[in-house]
Amino acid sequence: MIGRLVSSTVIGSAALLVTLLVATPVSAHIDPDPTQAQAGSRLTVGFTVEHGCEGSPTTQLDMRLPNGVIDPITEDIDGWDGSIDIVDGDTIVTFAGGPLADDVEGTFGVTMTLTATPDTTIYFPFVQRCEVGEIRWIGIPAEPGDELDEPAPAMTLTGPVATVPPDATIPDSTTPSSTAPVVTEPAATDAPAATTAPTEPSAVTTEAVSTSEPAVIADSSGQSGSSDTGTIAFIITMATVFGLGAFVAYRARQSRAANPS
């Protein structure tokens, strides 16, 4: 009986050991770093692969982004090529290369903008492909707390929703086009002013010419006045001469009358 008990204990221990050895790789989940982030924020999330596929090295990782997560950029990793593809409307992030040995961890970073849904959990279904076999980290729990053999990496989003910094606001790039009509309107109103501006000086010039004519006329009238003055002076002079001549003749007649001989 003791022998049967010992035999049963050994068999049970062996079975438990086999179970642990088989379950250990699966229990090493791929969790995002960080596992919690602000909704709507932009950050780099690291996904760490802890092992291969039952001893086989990892050669490729394919991850589907949750709905609402946008603008992904893969980080540069030596020996790996990162790419972004759209497949049936889903955004697929792929890392291919390596290989990454079964007993070596590797972290693969993706910069992304998270969906603006606070107080929710989002999942990143992940397929780990190896030289032999693959692990499909795609399980999503039906209820919180459900235990899954190959769960998808999960992240909890918190509030409040992150806002875009003022210096990175996209509408600023459209501001010039929206204000273009405002710039154009003054230009249109300036055009008539520019065309009428030359007209006004020309009118002034014309007036200046016309006002100069009376000045010429005034000069000619001044010359006429001086001419008349000379004529009057001439007449006075002549009258004086004739008057003096008449006076001398008168005195001569008186002198002869006084001395008839």
**Phi and psi for 145 in degrees, rounded to 5?**
95, -10
Predicted model pTM? 0.55
Structural domain spans, the chain = 27-163
Asked if 51 contacts 103 with a C-beta cutoff of 8 angstroms, the reply is yes
Alpha-carbon distance of 105 to 48, in angstroms, equals: 7
Residue 68 φ then ψ, to 5°? 95, -15
Q: Residue 63, exposed/middle/buried by CB under 10 A (0-12, 13-18, 19+)?
A: buried
Predicted pLDDT of residue 123: 96
pLDDT tens for the chain, residues 1 to 261 = 444 544 554 444 444 443 434 333 445 688 899 999 999 999 999 999 999 999 999 999 999 999 999 999 999 999 999 999 999 999 999 999 999 999 999 999 999 999 999 999 999 999 999 999 999 999 999 987 788 999 999 999 999 999 866 444 433 333 333 333 333 344 444 444 444 444 444 443 434 334 444 443 334 344 444 445 566 667 777 777 777 777 777 777 777 766 665
| Spatial separation of the C-alpha atoms in residues 66 and 115, rounded to whole Å | 8
| Short-list 48, 57, 56, 58, CA closest to 28 | 48
Task: Strand 42-49: give its sheet, edge to edge.
Answer: 32-33, 42-49, 106-113, 70-74
Q: Is 192 exposed, middle or buried (0-12, 13-18, 19+ CB in 10 A)?
A: exposed
- 27-163: CATH architecture: Sandwich (2.60)
Q: Tokens for 225, please give them.
A: 């006045």
Strands 80-87 and 120-123: what pairing? unpaired
Where helices occur in 28-174 by DSSP H, the ranges are none
Of 67, 66, 49, which Cα lies nearest the Cα of 137? 49
**d(C-alpha 135, C-alpha 120), whole Å:** 26
- Distance between CA 60 and CA 49 in Å, rounded? 11
CA nearest 155: which of 30, 24, 61? 30
Question: What pLDDT was estimated at residue 144?
Answer: 78
